[in-house]
C-alpha cells in the first residue's frame, strides 16, 4: 500500500472503525463551528459559495479531535513517505 501511495500519490485503504469514529467526531465539530455566524462569515469564500475548512476543525497537533485520535493505515502510510 505504501508503495502505491508514494508512486501514484494515492491509494485505497480499507475502512477502519477508528477512522470512522474520527470522521464522525470531526464532522460534528465542523458543523458546530460552521453554525457560529462569525466563524461562518470568516470561512465562506467565493461569494459565499464554499467554506474554507482548513481552520474549521478544532484538532490538536496530532490530528485528534475532541480526544478522538486520527490513526489508521492511511495515516501510518503517509508518515512513512
Its pTM surpasses 0.85: no
Average pLDDT over residues 44-67: 85
Distance CA 75, CA 18 (A): 12
Q: List the chain domain ranges.
A: 1-10+35-81
For 53-71, the DSSP string reads: -TTTS-B-TTS-BTTB---
Distance, CA of 29 to CA of 36 (rounded, Å): 11
- Inter-residue contact 4 to 11 (CB < 8 Å): yes
pLDDT tens-digit series, residues 5-51: 888 888 899 999 999 999 999 999 989 988 989 888 888 888 888 87
Amino acid at each position: 500500500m505504501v508503495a502505491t501511495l508514494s508512486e501514484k500519490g494515492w491509494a485505497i485503504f480499507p475502512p477502519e472503525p477508528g477512522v470512522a469514529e474520527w470522521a464522525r467526531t470531526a464532522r460534528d465539530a465542523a458543523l458546530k463551528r460552521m453554525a457560529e455566524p462569525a466563524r461562518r462569515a470568516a470561512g465562506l469564500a467565493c461569494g459565499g459559495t464554499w467554506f474554507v475548512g482548513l481552520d474549521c476543525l478544532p484538532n490538536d497537533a496530532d490530528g485528534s479531535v475532541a480526544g478522538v485520535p486520527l490513526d489508521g493505515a492511511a495515516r501510518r502510510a503517509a508518515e512513512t513517505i
